[in-house]
Amino acid sequence: MTRSDDMRALVLLHAGYTSAPAGADPAPLGELVALRRIPQPHPGPAQVLVKVALSPVNPSDLLYIAGTYGQPRVRGMPAGFEGTGLVVATGDGQAPALSGRRVSFLAGASGAWADYALADAASCVAVTDALRDEDAAALLVNPLTAIAMIDIAAEAGTSAVVLMAAASQLGRMLVALARERGIVPIAIVRKPDAAAQLQELGAAEVLVCCAPDFTERLASTLRANKPRILLDAVGDQLAADIFLAMPSHSRWISYGILSSTGPHLPDMRPFVFQGKRIEGFWLSRWLGAAGPAARARATQEVQRRFLDGTWRTQVAARVPLVDALRNLPAALDLPGKVLLAP
């Protein structure tokens, strides 16, 4: 028997962190989350309740449920960091402008892999009816990361950037945005399949890391373009080797931890004598530091890009929430973004 205010959700089975290294093969999905009926949450002050329409499965979501992300899991809470849906309630009558509106949201109070999600009103973006649900669902995490990191590259005055995992959804955004800002994008991929598409988006070079001529092409490309920013979602030895081959005063900006092994840096002289440095980028930290005006500008730019067709979410599969434990693992092997549909 179910109560009228119950809802379905993929809830976390574990709390805190795991001792496994980031990027390691996670446990089977069914050992990390479970489909359960739980009480529907109620919004507190400055919060809204969203009836979820779609929620993407991002790499950060998978790291989080595996216990290797930058914040601890909460057992029994729904997973999922972002989504889109309709605001059906607001806390204490606050945020009236969002009531009844379709929004893209970051689920800061309860996860988005559920029928309903709690979100801070400040983390919601009201979206126009012309925006596809698929784009509204993935409007924030990847697009805002792309804009923030290319802003960093532009402020650094670099003429070129090296992009690891360039064939990903975020990688393609970075390629197009860098080219638009007058920064030469150098794309590193593991398979040649995406080369033509990346070149159409504006990649000056697409280097396939397993190709026999990769080392020679990389050296030639670095000499010709002198990139001083490496944007890296992987954090493996390949990224380290590329960075060490880049010019003096280069910056390695790590925004993902897909590798389970991490890099080995055999020589510290580049950091002492060449002014090189390694730093991390975390969207949550950037959102907190950017301020309301910068966040509003970025979200407006993101929505405009999806509306005018500059960006478009490549959908790999829509997976009903009730089928996620069975169908999600295979869907994640497909190119594009997997979306969960309550």
CATH 3.40.50.720 corresponds to the domain 142-284: yes
Render pLDDT for 237-294 as a digit per residue (tens, 0 to 9): 999 999 999 999 999 999 998 887 889 998 899 999 999 999 999 998 998 888 888 8
For the cut 70, the answer to whether the pLDDT of residue 4 exceeds it is: no
Q: Report the pLDDT value the prediction gives residue 24, as an integer from 0 to 100.
A: 63
pTM over cut 0.75: yes
For the cut 70, the answer to whether the pLDDT of residue 145 exceeds it is: yes
Q: Report the pLDDT value the prediction gives residue 23, as an integer from 0 to 100.
A: 67
Average model confidence (pLDDT) across the chain: 93
Q: Report the pLDDT value the prediction gives residue 1, as an integer from 0 to 100.
A: 42
Please answer whether residues 59 and 82 qualify as being in contact, where contact means their C-beta atoms are separated by less than 8 angstroms. no
CATH class of 6-138+313-341: alpha beta
> Any long-range contacts for 35-38 (C-beta under 8 Å, 24+ apart)?
35/8, 35/9, 35/10, 35/321, 35/322, 35/324, 35/325, 36/8, 36/9, 36/11, 37/2, 37/6, 37/7, 37/8, 37/9, 38/6, 38/7, 38/9, 38/11, 38/76, 38/78, 38/114
Please report, rounded to a whole number, the percentage of residues in the chain having pLDDT higher than 70: 98
Name residue, tokens 């809204």: 48
Structure tokens at 142: 């990847």
Render pLDDT for 109-141 as a digit per residue (tens, 0 to 9): 899 999 999 999 989 999 999 999 999 999 999
Name residue, tokens 């216990």: 67
Render pLDDT for 149-190 as a digit per residue (tens, 0 to 9): 999 999 999 999 999 999 999 999 999 999 999 999 999 999
Residue 171's contacts (CB-CB under 8 Å, 6 or more residues apart) are: 163, 164, 165, 187, 198, 233
Render pLDDT for 211-236 as a digit per residue (tens, 0 to 9): 999 999 999 999 999 999 999 999 99
- Could you state, in order of their start, the residue ranges of all structural domains in the chain? 6-138+313-341, 142-284
